[in-house]
Structure 1
Amino acid sequence: MPAVTSKKPPVPIPLLMLIGIVAISFSSIFIKWSSAPVSVQGMYRLLFTSLLMLPFARPYSGAAFALRRKDWLLLVVSGAMLALHFLLWMGSLKFTSVASSTMIMALEPVFIMLGAYLLYKEKNSMSAIAGLAIAIFGVVFIGWGDIGLSSDNLKGDLLSIGGTAAVAAHLLIGQKLVARMPSYLYSLIVFIAAAIVFAIYNLLAGIPFFDYPPREWGIFVLLAIVPTVFGHILFNWLLQYASATTVSMNILGEPVGASILAFLLLGEQLTILQWAGGVLVMGGLAVYLYAGRRKAEKRSEALTSIS
């Protein structure tokens, strides 16, 4: 991950973050609009994104040849986890509301914290743990509200939780790999690996690759360009201008943006329990991210005093 520099991007950071939040918020809307199997949507989203990235990959060819066999294995596993994330999370949108699914997806830091503790023995402050506990309590509220709607809604919530756990595993592997390889190269290889995993899944499941109307192909392209290029890749690019904690605050924006878009474009309504759960999730995550920033500031101050 590149170090934050004092240089400024050509466009103000707040405006770029707003563009990124709006872009990723459209992801669930496009998925809802599509009638294609989610595994096909995920495959073409990653394939088209990879094709857009390939022309800029030549400077990283040397780093690719320097990768060890173990690195390639981890890249494939990371790609498989990313594919599983898309399969479960995108599948959840067929059963539950955009708001419920994206609010649960915002719990990604919870799974990352647990994984980092189990794998790397990373510890968190009590305030960070308290924030995550509040967020988990909020998910219970969301699930409770969904039970009152239908059993399918609860099934969608569970799929979203599974998708969140999968993307956390993907990010934890990525945290280890980007320490010794360019993040652009990592993203490109993982996207290609995930697309191949989806292709194998579709082949084994007998799901057609090409028998879709032009409207569906348009949605596949939009999924690659809008939420992926102008969302996730933009956030990765912003890491050279802003701290990881600042960029990660965008995770709070997606459920809000997606819920507003779902109300305007899909006519989705939320129950009082779902709203209450959403407020708890967002509030708990805000506490967690603030605690993480304070921890990073104290570590930086300690290093400065030593030097």
Structure 2
Amino acid sequence: MHRPAIDPAATTALVVAVLAVSTSGPLIAFAAAAPALAIAFWRNALAVGVLGPISLIARRGEYARLGRREGLFCVLAGVALAAHFAAWMPSIRFTTVAASTALVATQPVWQGLISVVQGRKLRTVTWVGIGIAVVGAVLATGADFGVSGRAVLGDLLAVLGAIMAAAYTALGERARATLSTTTYTTICYSVCAVLLVVVCLASGQSLGGYPGTTWLAILGLVAGAQLLGHTMFNYALRRVSATTISVLILLEVPGAALIAWLWLDQVPPAASLPGLALLMVGVVVVVLGGAQATRRERERALAREVETAGTLP
């Protein structure tokens, strides 16, 4: 019996993750009373407070067996995640949620390039899907590549955030090959939180004294974007490639734009509908193309096993 090409558990995790991370941009914009890097610190530190005890109790043996190679991937992923937050979260304060989210959605392009550097050969259908989805992401949000210095800075920070997100996902894919979700995320988020708190303290950014609504927004980021978003993506990394996950993250773009419209009155342009359609087409092309490739690989492997069994004496 053939196993399904798409893992139901991974599919469920990815749906939850996309819905959760779609709240990230609007919540960051809403929590304007807190510095962006302080928000990034708290979302990681509080997530470690939730995951850490669970991980240490349930995975004590895994920590004891943790090798230098796996540990290095976890640490480097944490560094990349901190750099992603340090670039992308401030960008939302310089430009619109829609523009920032659209630019950080170029992550699949950088993810594809990283895969090529790693020696992987991406199928043509994957590149086509990535291109369609990225173009759709930009059009769907009506991203404003403004001419003001403030908007340009926000644009550049969002692109840098996309590059760092791609590095974070690629490193996480390597770590998750042998580590459980809780062990990997606990180490990764801890490294990220430590780096961010150092930056906050060095730059004199306030880590407290915010109004209650800001703390509620931060808790929303922890529960949604961090625990249900990033952690579910990390869970799926053992079953789904980093490139496919990067393309699926593009679904955050219309989600964030819709929430910003309904909640923050940031009305998306009417031209966003064609872009949304392109985005969906690109995601479908990558996901179904990847599933078809996986199915063919399994069929070839099964054929080889049958052929080998037939030649045995």
TM over 0.5: yes
1:33 lines up with 2:30 in the alignment: yes
Partner residue in 2 for 1:298: 296
Partner residue in 2 for 1:133: 131
Q: Determine if contact 2:107/2:162 at 8 Å carries over to the other structure.
A: yes
Aligned residues: 299
Aligned counterparts of 1:143 and 1:7: Cα–Cα separation in 2: 30
Cα displacement (A) at 1:148: 5.2
Partner residue in 1 for 2:113: 114
Aligned counterparts of 1:60 and 1:108: Cα–Cα separation in 2: 31
Q: 1:47 to 1:232 in 2, by over 3 A?
A: same
Q: Determine if contact 1:145/1:273 at 8 Å carries over to the other structure.
A: no
Cα displacement (A) at 1:17: 5.8
Partner residue in 1 for 2:223: 225
Aligned counterparts of 1:233 and 1:78: Cα–Cα separation in 2: 13
The structure 2 residue matched to 1:173, chosen from 171, 176, 189, is: 171
Structure 1 stretch 178-187 or stretch 134-143: which is displaced more?
A: 134-143
Amino acid at match of 2:260: A
1:105 lines up with 2:116 in the alignment: no
Say which SS state the counterpart of residue 267 (structure 2) adopts: coil
Q: 1:60 to 1:194 in 2, by over 3 A?
A: same
Cα displacement (A) at 1:150: 4.7
Q: Determine if contact 1:88/1:162 at 8 Å carries over to the other structure.
A: yes
Partner residue in 1 for 2:309: none
Identity %: 26
**Deviation digits for residues 131-187 of structure 1, max 9, x if unmatched?**
223345456768995135755334323222211110111111111122222222011
Structure 1 stretch 42-51 or stretch 263-272: which is displaced more?
A: 263-272
Alignment map for 1:204-215 (pairs within 5 Å): 204-215=202-213
Unpaired runs of 5+ in structure 2? 306-313
Amino acid at match of 2:108: P
Q: Determine if contact 1:103/1:278 at 8 Å carries over to the other structure.
A: no
Alignment map for 1:145-156 (pairs within 5 Å): 146-147=144-145, 150-156=148-154
Q: Determine if contact 1:145/1:274 at 8 Å carries over to the other structure.
A: no
Partner residue in 2 for 1:244: 240
Unpaired runs of 5+ in structure 1? none
Say which SS state the counterpart of residue 196 (structure 1) adopts: helix
Cα displacement (A) at 1:278: 5.1
Aligned counterparts of 2:182 and 2:4: Cα–Cα separation in 1: 16
Q: Determine if contact 1:101/1:156 at 8 Å carries over to the other structure.
A: yes
Amino acid at match of 2:75: V
TM-score, normalised with respect to structure 1: 0.83
